[in-house]
Amino acid sequence: MGLDIIVGIKWVPNTTSVNIDEKTGTLIRTGVPSIINPHDMDALELALKMKDRYGGTVTVITMAPPHAKMGLEHAIGMGADKAILISDKVFAGADTLATSYTLAKTIEKIGRYDLIVMGQETIDSSTAHIGAQLASWLNIPYVYYVIEAEYLRSSHKLKVKRLMEDAYEIYEVNLPALISAAMHSQHPRRVSLKNKLRTKLENPIEWWSNGVLKLNPNCIGLKGSPTIVKKIEFMPKVERKREICPEKDPVKAAEWLVRKLMDEGLLKL
Amino acid sequence: MSGICPEWEKIDPSEYKGIWVYMQVERDGIHEASLQMLSIARMLAEKKKTHVAGVLIGYNVKKYAKEPIYHGADEVYVVDDKRLEQYYAKVYAHVLVELAKRYKPEAILVGATMKGREFAPYVANSLRTGITADCTSFDVDPNTGDIVQIRPPFGAWMLAHIKTPNRRPVMSTARPNVFNVPPRDEKRKGKVIIEKIDELPDPGIKLIKRIPIERKEEIPIEKAEILVSGGKGLGSKEGFKILEELAKEIGGTISGSRKAVDAGWIPHEKQVGQTGKTVKPSIYFAIGISGAAQHIFGIREAKRVVCINIDPDAPIFENADYGIIGDYKKVVPALVEVIRKLRKRAT
């Protein structure tokens, strides 16, 4: 028997391509494509690698608006077996507590699993909360920042390696468990044509609304969220001098710059 | 449907008092990021007219109990237990959760170190309370007395003001090196409270081996006085060698943009910007960095920003004090030369 793995992903606006309207100071969101959170691609790759090596299944879950189906199709294209889109208006406005609760209940409904793999954090809100919160709801062991994972079949445990600020650490982990994959730790594979065809032929993506999950409305969405965003303010722009060097010659330009920095006492000889 | 989630215990927020700071202990003592949280805790406590407490969890940690007091805490809770010799997030979280249930603090602050980011959400979830990550400032609402947690979400142009009005404790993590450690004063007095936790959970994981990394004695970028930073415009990893020459000459530290990290040219810990680190050098050299808003966010507190870029339309010029339009492969070595010459003349 192999490993049944669940991977949680987030469908995020590609913040690197979001621009600001200079006149109004607001975000230009129109035309900004959403993508699978890049750090979740590390999680997906780690899970797929384990499936390649030890057999089993990979199920991808996400809580998102309906258009996140595109992201799930991409995950199936990479080799995931199945995906669940948790989507319903009542889930909207959830903070990390309500989100993790909804995901935990989804995982309980899926039932059997050996391992949950999450990304280290997202590029849009960067909280890194959901992994630990899921582990708390499900009362399972968890380890963040994993760079390598090996399945010890005889003891049905995982051996993981993680990288901290000052050391590598190797742990044995009882299953079922949750791990988060360290960002940039994997090289996510490309979508294959064969797998992509599956999304068309086999319908491997399920849509779970709250009609399916039947969660108490007080525990989900805005109502199930203890934190409230009271105000969003734009940060004042830092005013810089914006002096451009008039010199074309590199040495003269360098002299110009060194003079400026020395005059301000910032550069000392 | 009205009422609250049945998963949540009913609480009375007015029973919760005091600002707690979790003290992460490493081999050489309390982590600086934890001591930095004391300056936020002090500010909040003054405004709310309440006290500040440190929480120390581990084995042989009692010896550090006075440190949080010297740096501004009024009391320190200590759980010193052989069973806590090895740090496991789940076990340490359980201890903090039990203490919070006993003493009902209004807020718990945790430094957003790697361990802090792993541990704090488990604590918050166990208490069924909200948590706000990576705060960069805090305040108290003068009307309601609510703690306001301020963080940059969704890109780098905005600050969200977040409250946890009905659940306690309010939990936040805050970025390391944004706040200063309050000055140490050995004359400060405070109470040390020794606590015991009878039952500890099984972490379900076991540390088999720890392999320390020989990191070069480098200054972390968030503490560097001069940063020489490279981006996609360098074109290759080798480009950083040219930057290193300059860094060596002026006592600078190397850093880079997200694109340089994504390309694998420099490690993630050297990334400047919203998804990397906030830096505050006196001079920041942005070389071959176009200047995405996320990057500009990370250098807000730099005293002077210098940019060298071949593209005169790059947004970095709008966000720099001194800009040079040109090929860095020529300008940077010229800078090194000019500084060397001036130095020779000076001696």
| For chain B, percent of residues with pLDDT exceeding 90 | 84
Domain ranges of chain A: 3-219, 239-269
Q: Residue A148: its pLDDT value, please?
A: 98
Cα A199 from Cα A74, distance rounded (Å): 9
Contact B160 A231 (CB under 8 A): yes
Only one residue has tokens 């999680």, namely A43
**Shortest Cα distance from A209 to chain B (angstroms)?**
18
Asked whether the beta carbons of A46 and A57 are under 8 A apart, the reply is no
CA distance A164 to chain B (A): 7
CA distance B162 to B159: 9
Confidence of residue B1 (pLDDT cuts 50, 70, 90): very low
**What is the mean pLDDT of the segment spanning B34-63?**
97
User: Which candidate, B58, B156, B48, places its Cα nearest to that of B106?
Assistant: B48
- For chain A, how are helix, strand and coil distributed in percent, rounded to 5? 35, 30, 40
- Of B109, B93, B94, B87, the residue nearest B42 (C-alpha): B109
Closest Cα partner for A149 from A114, A122, A123? A114
State residue A232's pLDDT score.
82
pLDDT digits (tens, 9 = 90+) for A235-267: 777 899 999 999 999 999 999 999 999 999 998
- Whether the Cβ atoms of residue B152 and residue A126 lie closer than 8 Å to each other: no
Beta bridge partner(s), residue A146: A162, A181
Residue A2 contacts B, CB cutoff 8 Å: no
Q: What is this model's ipTM?
A: 0.90
Taking an 8 Å cut-off on Cβ atoms, the answer to whether B282 and A266 are in contact is: yes
Q: Of A225, A226, A95, which Cα lies nearest the Cα of B166?
A: A226
Q: Does A263 touch chain B (CB under 8 A)?
A: no
Q: Which of B133, B165, B339 has its CB closest to that of A258?
A: B339
Q: Render A161-202 in DSSP notation, one character per residue.
A: EEE-SSEEEEEEEESSEEEEEPTT-S-PPPPPHHHHHHHHHT
Q: Is the pLDDT of residue B2 over 70?
A: no
Kindly give, in sequence order, each residue whose CB lies less than 8 Å from that of residue A249, ignoring residues fewer than 6 positions away: none
Q: Cβ separation of A13 and B154 shorter than 8 Å? A: yes
Do residues B177 and B66 lie in contact, with contact meaning Cβ atoms separated by under 8 Å? no
pLDDT in tens, B176-212: 888 999 999 999 999 999 999 999 999 999 999 999 9
Residues with Cβ < 8 Å from A229, sequence gap 6 or more?
A: B160, B161, B162
Facing residue for B208 by CB, picked from A172, A184, A228 = A172
Topology of the domain covering A3-219? Rossmann fold (3.40.50)
Over the range A105-123, which residues count as b (16 or more CB within 10 Å of their CB) and which as e? bbbeeeeebbbbbbbbbbb
Task: Name the strand (E) or helix (H) holding B39.
Answer: helix B32-48
* Cα–Cα distance for residue pair A30/A269, rounded to 1 Å: 50
Question: Could you tell me the two tokens for B280?
Answer: 């505050």
User: For B140-156, what is each residue's pLDDT tens digit?
Assistant: 999 999 999 999 765 56
| A234 with B114: Cβ contact below 8 A | no
**Residue of chain A with shortest Cα separation from B261:** A184
Give the chain A residue whose CA is nearest to the CA of B344. A269
pLDDT of residue B119 exceeding 60: yes
